[in-house]
Structure 1
Amino acid sequence: MNSGAAGTLAVGRVKFFGQHRGEVNSSAFSPDGQRLLTASEDGCVYGWETQSGRLLWRLGGHAGPVKFCRFSPDGRLFATTAGDCTIRLWDVAEAKCLHVLKGHQRSVETVSFSPDSKRLASGGWDKQVVLWEVQSGQMLRHLGGHQDSVQSSDFAPSSDSLASGSWDKTIHIWKPSTKSLLVQLKGHVSWLKSIAFSPDGSQLASAGYSHMVKVWDCNTGKCIETLKGVLDVAHACAFTPDGKLLVSGAADQARYQVRCRSNHPEPPHITSP
């Protein structure tokens, strides 16, 4: 995909990565964009060369569907979560598993690295957020408080706070070093699917089954904008690196669409494919 002018979407040079043996649950680009990860219902994580589409490796080890995958910000590692209640940490260069992290009691649905790649946060169906040390694979602490499955997580760019989104319709923002709950964000009327901090950490976007995307002020905990152009479940949201655009993906009309909205006070221009 190539982005054109603000609010437009240009599609070209489409590649298909089609050797999976089950549904694809998650995907992630490496920080340099040279590799693509895909997590599959078949219990494997796949690594691809982005430009050529060549399959680099197909890694098993999880005893259940692989639910989520993410590269570390330094590009040296990636993490996978699965229905077998574990997280696996992998070395990118050697494509081998370094640690199997055990501490969740049910399927693990999300994982995120701290910006310095030293810590890892995970969440899942046991309603827990767990913080880990990446180098040793040691569990640091549990962050409890959600009343339903934790489906998404994201560290703030400064690493001093961690957000978790749950099917209990709330977002918790934590100070992970002390286990303190800094703020609880309420306003969604249905399950949350995705959350993302803005590049400067001042705002947080959230999306889910309520057919809307919300933008929050992280300092006050107030919702500053509700974007209601989504017609179906909003599966994902993300800010662009410059923080000027917010993108959401939804299952509108039985197909996925990408919507770009300006992160500015003026009304955004919306274009759907």
Structure 2
Amino acid sequence: MNSGVPATLAVRRVKFFGRHGGEMLLTGSEDGCVYGWETRSGQLLWRLGGHTGPVKFCRFSPDGHLFASASCDCTVRLWDVARAKCLQVLKGHQRSVETVSFSPDSRQLASGGWDKRVMLWEVQSGQMLRLLVGHRDSVQSSDFSPTVNCLATGSWDSTIRIWDLRTGTSAVSHQALEGHSGNISCLCYSASGLLASGSWDKTIHIWKPTTSSLLIQLKGHVTWVKSVAFSPDELWLASAGYSRMVKVWDCNTGKCLETLKGVLDVAHTCAFTQDGKILVSGAADQTRRRMSRTTKSPSDPQT
């Protein structure tokens, strides 16, 4: 883990977004639409429809050219960011799609959902490359390793599976990370290959997947953990519980540095911007989104 000492963390409210129903922020809605926002001004850039069910998850590709949205309508849609246009509709899941994730090179996309299956797609053609079967319950989260060699998936069977994608055959081996006592609700790789997992057991685990070892356990949420996100420098981990609180943790000590108490409804997601200076949390009232700015101490030259 990063051995650096975290700088002082200052948190203040920056913006509320209220139109559901520099950098871009994506939000998915129960109305089946994906919304694009300009983060600095809070301006709504576009509202894209097409899904016939609620949007459960959306994510940008690492190269910034595309984004994907997953829906209760059993499909994944691939969109062009610049043109705000749907390029592909990926069909194959038999039930609601709960998670999508791009490979670091933006060439592949993984999706998982209530049919217990994980599908691996080629982004350019929209062709399904592999079907990964092994989870015993709904797949709720996924993330590629930084090397593209592995895919992590989290399920309501309380396990995390690390799929080895290096084989050239359709058969994919996997290892299971066990230790949570509840459903796995969220996963996130760090840039160096650490893996954070959040669960219905109200805890967060930080793993070293290459050795299947648990490095640290974070306790403090009073409800199940809905979302986790590493800061770019890996000093901090943000987590959103199924409550009005978002927590920021020291990844080295496991200490909770800040608890952000919102005035909105349940926080469904949290994410750092690429420079690590802004932490975004999404509320569940379908009308607003909150952003908090995380800045380092005045002595930090990057502030």
- The answer to whether the aligner puts 1:20 opposite 2:20 as a matched pair is yes
Measured in 1, the distance between the counterparts of 2:240 and 2:143 equals 17
Residue aligning to 2:219 = 228
2:45 paired residue among 44, 56, 78: 56
CA change 1:232–1:125 in 2 (3 A) is same
CA drift of 1:113 comes to: 0.3
Q: Which amino acid aligns with 1:174?
A: W
Matched-pair contact (CA < 8 Å) for 1:7–1:271: no
Residue aligning to 2:54 = 65
Look up the SS of the partner of 1:12 in the other structure: strand
Matched-pair contact (CA < 8 Å) for 1:7–1:260: no
Matched-pair contact (CA < 8 Å) for 1:119–1:131: yes
Residue aligning to 2:173 = 181
What do the CA deviations read for 1:149-174 (whole angstroms, capped 9, x no partner)?
00000001111111000010000001
Measured in 2, the distance between the counterparts of 1:42 and 1:65 equals 6
CA drift of 1:182 comes to: 3.3
Matched-pair contact (CA < 8 Å) for 2:218–2:254: no
CA drift of 1:240 comes to: 1.1
1:198 paired residue among 190, 200, 204: 190
- The answer to whether the aligner puts 1:10 opposite 2:11 as a matched pair is yes
Structure 1: segments with no counterpart, 5+ residues: 22-32
Measured in 1, the distance between the counterparts of 2:240 and 2:9 equals 14
TM-score (norm 1): 0.88
CA drift of 1:58 comes to: 0.9
What do the CA deviations read for 1:105-159 (whole angstroms, capped 9, x no partner)?
1000000000000000000000011000000111001000000000000001111
CA change 1:209–1:269 in 2 (3 A) is closer
What do the CA deviations read for 1:25-76 (whole angstroms, capped 9, x no partner)?
xxxxxxxx61111100011111112222221111111111111100000000
Of the two structures, which has the highest relative contact order with CA contacts closer than 8 Å and spacing of 6 or more?
2
- The answer to whether the aligner puts 1:248 opposite 2:249 as a matched pair is no
Measured in 2, the distance between the counterparts of 1:112 and 1:63 equals 21
Measured in 2, the distance between the counterparts of 1:11 and 1:65 equals 31
Residue aligning to 2:246 = 258
Matched-pair contact (CA < 8 Å) for 2:217–2:254: no
CA change 1:104–1:267 in 2 (3 A) is closer
CA drift of 1:13 comes to: 2.4
After TM superposition, the runs of 4+ consecutive aligned structure 1 residues lying more than 6 A away are none
% same residue: 56
Matched-pair contact (CA < 8 Å) for 2:216–2:254: no
Look up the SS of the partner of 1:219 in the other structure: helix
Q: Which amino acid aligns with 2:118?
A: V
Look up the SS of the partner of 1:137 in the other structure: coil
CA change 1:186–1:56 in 2 (3 A) is same
Structure 2: segments with no counterpart, 5+ residues: 1-5, 261-303
Measured in 2, the distance between the counterparts of 1:11 and 1:127 equals 40
Look up the SS of the partner of 1:11 in the other structure: strand
Measured in 2, the distance between the counterparts of 1:215 and 1:130 equals 25
The alignment of Structure 1 onto Structure 2 pairs a total of residues equal to 252
Q: RMSD over aligned Cα, in angstroms? A: 1.6
The structure in which a higher percent of residues are strand is 2
TM-score (norm 2): 0.79
